[in-house]
Structure formats: C-alpha cells, structure tokens
Amino acid sequence: MSDVAVGLDVGGTKALAVLVSRDGEILDELRTSTPHDAEGGAGAATGKVLAEQLVTFAERHSLDVSSLPIGIGMPGMVRRDGRLAFAPNLQTVSGASFPELLRESIGAEFVYMENDGNCAALGEYAWGAGHGVENFVMVTLGTGIGGGIIANGELVRGQSGFGGEIGHMVVEARGTLCGCGGFGCWERYASGNGLARLAFEWATEGRLAELTLKRGGAQNVRGEDVTLAASQGLEEAIALMNEVAWWLARGLANLIAILDTGHFVIGGGLSTAADQLLPSAREYLAELTFGYDKRPPIVVTPSGLTVHAGALGAAKVAFDRQP
C-alpha cells in the first residue's frame, strides 16, 4: 500500500497535480494549462499533459508510476466505469477514458477517475471545511459550477455516477445558452464565466462606466477586473458582485428546497472573491429560501482547501480505491 498518491484536478483552464501523503499533506504540485485540442482523438492532448505531470513527479521523488495510486477529477459526467461521458466546458475530452490513456502511455495501472466536484467534496470532507460534517453540498465556482453532495457521510453519485451536476440546474427559464446545450443553467450566472459574461453585458450597457474607461473599452473588461475593483471599493463593481451573489443564493435556495441541506462549502477559482460574494449571498438566501425561518441555521462557508480541494479529493479517491 502506497504512502503517497497523486491527485489530478483538470479544469477548463488548468490542470493541477498534487503529490499527497495519507494525512493530506501536499508534498509537491504542478500546474499546466489545459489544452483544448482535439487532435489525436478524445482526451489525447489532455492525457499527454497529465502523463507529463506524473512522469515529473516520478522523477523528482523516485516513484514507480506503475504502482502509484492516481486519482483524476474531471469536469462533467463521469460514469461509474471511469469514462467521461460529456464535459460541457472541455468538450475535447468527452468520451475519453483517462485510466486507459495513462496505462497505454506511461504504464500507470492504478488510475481512478471521478467528477471534479465530487472530488472537491471528498477532499473537504476528509481534510477541509466539511470535515466532521455528515451532510453538506460542495459548490465549486470555476469555469462552470461543479458540485458534490455528501449525505450521511457518503458521496451521492446517482445511478449512473452523474449525481451532483448542480451547475446545470435551471435558474432562469429560457435564459442564457449554456455549453451543455440547455438554457438558463445556474453556471451561466454564478460561475467565473458567468461573472465574465455579466461584466461584458454591464460594460456594454454603460453600467460599468468607470471600469470600462479604465480598461479602454467594454470588450476589455474581464471578471478579474470586476473582483479587483470591487475589493477596492468601486461601487459599480460592488453592484455587479452583488448581482452574482444573488444568483449564487438563488441556486443554493433551490438546493435547500430539494435536499433540505443546511451546510454549503464554496470553492473553485471564484471563491477567492468569497469576501465579496458570501456576505451578500447569505442575506439573499434568507429572502429566497422556502421556510428559511423554520429551519436550523444555514451555513455557507468558504472552502478550507481553497484551490487544492479538487486535487486533494482526487488523491483521496486514489487512496480509497487502490486494492
């Protein structure tokens, strides 16, 4: 039984690899841009990046890749057999089996794949803000919105393994087109891409006049510009962050109604702006939640593992599943 495992967290913009001990300590890490290249077949370009990360770890730490437990967190619909059925925000990997690709390319034998939101939930449950909490929902605000549901201390995976795809819950009937092919999905309003979309719309409409002038045109206003300006006290940017917070609360309220959950852990890249988002989201949640005053207090807390949650959770998957 290995004392270390590798967790690979693949997102729409980056692939984060961590070498992890059994107590959750990160021993090494690598970050690589995620390729959006379909050449070579489904997942081939991304598989090459992951193989390079694994070989680097093996060389640095004198590890045998063939016996190393490896967990992969992938965005999208990961089947119980480990194949990625569909990834709306990384469609060049849809249909890929990374355990097979890594076995063929570098001889890795113990590779296990899980949805990235599920991995983040498992990571937080083991070592982060969900530790000791038997019922909570992990919400990852990244390129899209991922999720993982812990119920009675167990991950809810659903009949096919697709459970927890909360980002594709519809929050606006006939709303904005989503990469999944649907309309009005939650992730189009409360994710990193959702913030970027709203920032462009507001800038175009003249609602971010100062920021638009500073950036030299509406087309240059990015989500990062809004979060930075909001942190510096610019009122128009704060107003936009409050809009995103409302949409975040709208989705959380829906999950409360469906699951009767009282605890949320918020992670992903956009969670770095938690100080700007979560106070307003908590206030809106009180207005939007069915029977709010009849429920126990609802906790909405930032990730304890921040950007490492998905990768650490992927390593936990590898530890748990290796024979």
The more confident residue out of 80 and 243 is 243
* Cα(252)–Cα(267) distance, integer angstroms: 14
pLDDT (0 to 100) of residue 82: 83
Give 107: exposed, middle or buried? Use CB within 10 Å, 0-12, 13-18, 19+: exposed
pLDDT at 146: 94
Domains with residue ranges and CATH for the chain: 4-120+308-321 (3.30.420.40), 132-303 (3.30.420.40)
Q: What is the mean pLDDT of residues 81-103?
A: 91
Work out the average pLDDT over 253-269. Answer: 96
Residues 6 or more apart whose CB falls under 8 angstroms from that of 31 comprise 14, 15, 16, 17
Taking residues 5-22, what's their average pLDDT?
95
Give the Cα separation of 93 and 64 in Å (integer). Answer: 26
Specify which residues 113 forms β-bridges with: 72
Cα-Cα-Cα-Cα dihedral sign, residues 205, 207, 210, 215:
negative
pLDDT band at 89 (very low <50, low <70, confident <90, very high): confident
In terms of Cα–Cα distance, which of 71, 48, 69 is closest to 120?
A: 71
As a whole number, mean pLDDT of residues 7-16 equals: 93
Burial of 244 (0-12, 13-18, 19+ CB in 10 A): buried
At residue 74, the 3 state secondary structure works out as strand
Report residue 10's pLDDT band, with 50, 70 and 90 as the boundaries: very high
Q: Are 137 and 255 in contact (CB under 8 A)?
A: yes
Percent of the chain with pLDDT over 90: 92
Q: Which phi and psi angles does 74 have, rounded to 5°? A: -120, 140
Determine the pLDDT at residue 137: 98
What local confidence, expressed as pLDDT, does residue 162 receive? 95
| Residue 149: pLDDT over 90 | yes
Confidence of residue 39 (pLDDT cuts 50, 70, 90): confident
Burial of 23 (0-12, 13-18, 19+ CB in 10 A): exposed
- Is residue 1 predicted with pLDDT exceeding 90? no
> Crossing angle for the helix pair 223-231 and 274-288, nearest 10 degrees?
90
Q: pLDDT at residue 61 above 90?
A: yes
The pLDDT tens digits for 193-215 are 999 999 999 999 999 999 999 99
**Res 81 pLDDT > 90:** no
pTM, rounded to two decimals: 0.94
pLDDT at 83: 87
pLDDT value for 37: 84
Match 């077949």 to its residue by tokens. Answer: 41
What is the per-residue pLDDT for 12? 84
CA dihedral sign, ordered 203, 206, 211, 214: positive
Confidence of residue 267 (pLDDT cuts 50, 70, 90): very high
What's the pLDDT score for residue 38? 82
**Can you point out the beta strands (E) in the chain?**
4-10, 14-21, 26-33, 70-74, 77-78, 84-86, 111-115, 136-141, 145-151, 154-155, 263-267, 299-302
Angle at the Cα of 261 (from 260 to 265), degrees rounded to 5?
160
pLDDT in tens, 286-300: 999 999 999 999 999
Q: Cβ–Cβ contacts within 10 Å for residue 268, how many?
A: 26
When the pLDDT of each residue in the chain is averaged and rounded to a whole number, the result is 96
State the sign of the Cα–Cα–Cα–Cα dihedral 172, 177, 183, 188: negative
Q: What is the reported pLDDT for 40? A: 83
Greatest distance between any 2 Cα atoms in the chain: 60
